[in-house]
Structure 1
Amino acid sequence: MEKTEDNLICSGNFAESETLSQIKISLDEEKGIYPLANIFKALGDPTRLRIIYALSKSPLCVCDIATLLDMTQSSISHQLRVLRNLNLVKFKREGKLVIYSLDDDHVFRLFEEGLEHIRHQDI
């Protein structure tokens, strides 16, 4: 690589062309990168992260979450719908109540890893 003022200019490939082809195929998969980007986009919202954190502690109804976050039930329901559509949260009915919980342990691990990264960076 040649160094110019603030840019590095690549004068050739480091990886073999077969390796590059395999990576390109993996990056283009509709079942991989795009759904993951949608999950990260959803997790980019502070309210949704707060909901995920609350649900990591206990299953809760919309009223409980609204009280915890000091928000309206309507806005919480909207955020839960986004999370539910991405299979990040699930719900079950108990009489008239709808109880939400994390879909599985992977969801909390994503959250936890993000927090660990922040702590590691001392941001």
Structure 2
Amino acid sequence: MPSGAGRAVCGVYEVHPERVEVARAALPEEEVLQEATLLLKALSDPTRMRLLLALKAAGELCVCDLALLAGVSVSAVSHQLRRLRQARLVAFRREGKQVYYRLADAHVARLLELALEHAEENT
């Protein structure tokens, strides 16, 4: 295979200032960009995806339920839920000593649907 074959390479160095300016204007504020990055990083783990998909299906589950479902320890689930809370992907409520988790909002459910839809296109 010739060098560079199969890779996307610019054959001619040419800048398109109008397109660059349109793209630059469409970029969000740095704070929003950082928040979106945190969100996508939180989704980048199979266990966290399993937890989120379980919450999407069941609506609300406690840590013990999630641990059983994911096949990991309660401690591991708690750690993963902390990451998901930091990314504002899950919310929780207390009922006595029990804590129940749910998806934070409809955006999270839609994000999961889109991720699976996109992944299924490639399988």
Indicate the TM-score class for this superposition, using the shorter chain for normalisation.
Answer: 0.7 to 0.9
TM-score, length basis structure 1: 0.83
Q: How does 1:66-85 map to 2 (within 5 A)?
A: 66-85=67-86
1:84-104 residue CA offsets vs partner (Å, 9 max, x unmatched): 011100000111110000000
1:92 paired residue number: 93
Show the counterpart of 2:50.
Answer: 50
Q: Which residue of 2 aligns with 1:115?
A: 116
d(CA) in 1 for partners of 2:117, 2:95: 35
User: 2: CA distance between counterparts of 1:61 and 1:70?
Assistant: 14
Runs of 4+ in 1 over 4 A off after TM superposition: none
Q: Distance in 2 between matches of 1:70 and 1:11?
A: 52
Q: Are 1:62 and 1:77, in contact at CA under 8 Å, matched by a contact in 2?
A: yes
Aligned letter for 2:55? L
Aligned to 1:63: 64
Residue equivalent to 1:104: 105
How far residue 26 of structure 1 moved from its aligned partner, in angstroms, is 4.7
Secondary structure at 1:13 match in 2: coil
Q: Deviations over 1:98-117 (max 9, x none)?
A: 00000001111111101101
Q: Determine helix, strand or coil for the equivalent of 1:8.
A: coil
Q: CA deviation at 1:78?
A: 0.4
RMSD: 2.0
The percent identity for this pair of structures is 41
Kindly provide the amino acid, as one letter, of the partner of residue 11 in structure 1.
Answer: Y
Unaligned runs of 5+ in 2: none
Q: Is the 8 A contact 1:48 1:79 kept in 2?
A: yes
The TM-score normalised by the length of structure 2 is 0.83
Q: Is 2:32 the partner of 1:32? A: yes
Give the superposition deviation at 1:32.
2.3
Whether 1:9 aligns to 2:1 is no
CA contact 1:26–1:32 (8 Å) conserved in 2: no
